[in-house]
Amino acid sequence: MKEQQTGTIEIPLQERYMISLKEASAYFHIGIKKMRRMAEDNEGGFALFLGNRYLICRPKFEEYLLKVMENSRTEQEICDDEISH
């Protein structure tokens, strides 16, 4: 943590619990439009609409991404098995 001249404390992104769409987009290398769509759909329960903006719960979003990747692997394995038979 760093304290800035304005008196605010800067917490590194990887240690923050909630991050903005722009920060999430940069951190996870996902386009801002895709991040907004994912937050609006909120399938994994990782987004919070607060005021006029979305905040992303970083740990929950990481879990959501892992689940999506596991499901896509499983689906890919099923497709590969069907093709080989």
CATH code, domain carrying 14: 3.90.105.50
Tell me which residue range forms the domain holding 20: 2-84
Position with higher pLDDT, 3 vs 22: 22
Read off the pLDDT of each residue in 38-63 and give the average, rounded to a whole number. 96
Q: Which residues, listed in sequence order, are joined to residue 49 by a DSSP beta bridge? A: 54
Would the pLDDT of 73 be above 80? no
Would the pLDDT of 77 be above 80? no
Mean per-residue pLDDT over the chain, rounded: 88
Would the pLDDT of 12 be above 70? yes
pLDDT at 7: 79
DSSP code of residue 12: P
Beta strand extents in 1-85 (DSSP E only) = 2-3, 9-10, 18-20, 47-50, 53-57
Name the residue with tokens 């951190």.
27
Residue 77: CB atoms within 10 Å: 10
The pTM is what?
0.78
Number of structural domains found in the chain? 1
